[in-house]
């Protein structure tokens, strides 16, 4: 079984300052089945081309949200993408079947270590609890929500960590169903 055609919706508002996401992007380079779409680069003014985005999404089997974790969520442009692209009658509602059968997945880098997320940790809840809006959005749009890929402890990660995360991400992207 071949790996699914994958659209990476990439969001980092300050890529020039990025260490982790910039490194992770290199893992996705050169894969024939993967389209990397940098939303801040495409829409610096936040004026999302809805028709273009819908066409792109429809042409792929798996949509990956790749971003740093910002305030327990995504950078702002990804929220704008959801708000404008996932229209009634296209993504949901009676005739809104464009995304049916596709997969949605999150690939996130988080400053906080694993132990910060959960009872007793300073973030209180397991990180997947913060991702429930994406899980439910996928469900409403008839998509499968894949288990997220999360890289923790980005504030203090080493070059070895970055290298091993790239290998993990590339293998994950090459996996048939993710």
| Residues of this chain that bind ligand FMN (CB under 6 A) | 12, 18-22, 68-72, 109-112, 154-155
CA distance 165 to 178: 16
Rg of the chain over all Cα atoms, to the nearest angstrom: 16
Minimum CB distance to ligand FMN smaller for 12 or for 102? 12
Least Å from the CB of residue 121 to ligand FMN: 11
Please, are residues 63 and 137 in contact by the beta-carbon 8 Å criterion? no
24 or 91, CB closer to ligand FMN?
A: 24
Q: How far is the CB of 97 from ligand FMN (least distance, A)?
A: 34
Q: Quote the least distance from Cβ 18 to ligand FMN, whole Å.
A: 3
C-beta nearest to ligand FMN: residue = 111
- In angstroms, give the least distance from the CB of 33 to ligand FMN: 24
Measure the CA–CA gap between 24 and 50, rounded to whole angstroms. Answer: 27
Q: Phi, psi at residue 86, to the nearest 5°?
A: -85, 75
* Cβ-based nearer residue to ligand FMN, 69 or 92: 69
Are 174 and 149 contacting, i.e. CB atoms less than 8 angstroms apart? no
């Amino acid at each position: 079984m071949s790996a699914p055609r994958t659209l990476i919706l990439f969001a980092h508002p300050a890529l020039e300052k990025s260490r982790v996401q910039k490194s992770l992007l290199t893992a996705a380079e050169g894969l024939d089945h993967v389209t990397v779409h940098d939303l801040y680069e495409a829409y610096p003014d936040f004026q999302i081309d809805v028709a273009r985005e819908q066409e792109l999404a429809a042409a792929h089997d798996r949509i990956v949200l790749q971003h740093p974790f910002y305030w327990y969520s995504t950078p702002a442009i990804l929220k704008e993408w959801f708000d404008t692209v996932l229209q009634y009658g296209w993504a949901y509602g009676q005739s809104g079947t464009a995304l049916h059968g596709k997969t949605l997945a999150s690939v996130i880098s988080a400053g906080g270590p694993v132990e910060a997320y959960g009872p007793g940790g300073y973030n209180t809840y397991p990180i997947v609890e913060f991702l429930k809006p994406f899980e439910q959005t996928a469900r409403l749009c008839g998509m499968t929500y894949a288990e997220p890929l999360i890289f923790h402890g980005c504030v203090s990660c080493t070059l070895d960590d970055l290298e091993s995360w790239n290998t993990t991400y590339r293998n994950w992207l090459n996996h048939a169903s993710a």
